Amino acid sequence: MLEEEAIVIETEGATARVLIEKKSACASCSAAILCHPPEHDYVEVDNIIGAVAGQKVKIVVESEQYLKASFILYGIPVFVFLLSALIGKIAAVSLAGEAYSDLWAFAAACFSTGATFSLIARFQRQLQKSRAYKPIITEIIGLYV
């Protein structure tokens, strides 16, 4: 399980919007802006324990869900990019010769990867309704000071 501490900003029904606190290790990490971008620190979570605005809470994401989401977001597009580049190269060489085969391979890879991200975005919108990959508030730590 992946655990983070957060502050509840607002609640609406069984959903809460939280601000994830940056850890001290984030200060020296070169990728910190990706995990905690300054303008997008808010995350929607399931609020099954009834936390209210202003409380400090612990949120949890199941490791299995995290790995599945990582594979969907990173693994599938990389696989599609490489496979479509290979197929594009083979098709271009067999149809038009070697002259512009690299360009056709790159174009096929970019188009296929773009289409893959489009399908992933559609799939993600459907998953938001199911709450399968949403973090969950598991514990109220106290009030934010």
Q: Any idea where the domains of the chain sit in the sequence?
A: 2-61+134-143, 64-130
The sign one gets for the Cα dihedral 30, 32, 38, 39 is positive
Query: 138: Cβ–Cβ under 8 A, 6 or more apart, which residues?
Result: 3, 49, 57, 58, 59, 60
**In 3-state terms, what secondary structure has residue 99?**
coil
CATH, range 2-61+134-143:
2.40.50.140
- Band (pLDDT 50/70/90 cuts) for residue 105 is very high
DSSP state of 101: H
Listed range (24-33, 72-81, 114-123) with the worst mean pLDDT: 24-33
Give how far the C-alpha of residue 84 lies from the chain's centroid of Cα atoms, to the nearest Å. 23
User: What would the mean pLDDT of 6-25 be, rounded to a whole number?
Assistant: 81
Mean pLDDT value of segment 48-67: 85
Shortest CA distance to 18 belongs to which of 49, 40, 34, 37? Answer: 40
By the 8 A CB rule, do 4 and 35 touch? Answer: no
pTM listed for this prediction: 0.64
Would the pLDDT of 77 be above 90? yes
Per-residue pLDDT at 115:
96
In whole angstroms, give the CA distance from residue 124 to residue 130. 10
Query: What is the pLDDT averaged over residues 48-74?
Result: 85
On whether the CB atoms of residues 5 and 16 are closer than 8 A, the answer is no
pLDDT on residue 39? 56
Cα–Cα nearest to 60, from 112, 138, 116: 138
User: Is the pLDDT at 86 greater than 90, yes or no?
Assistant: yes
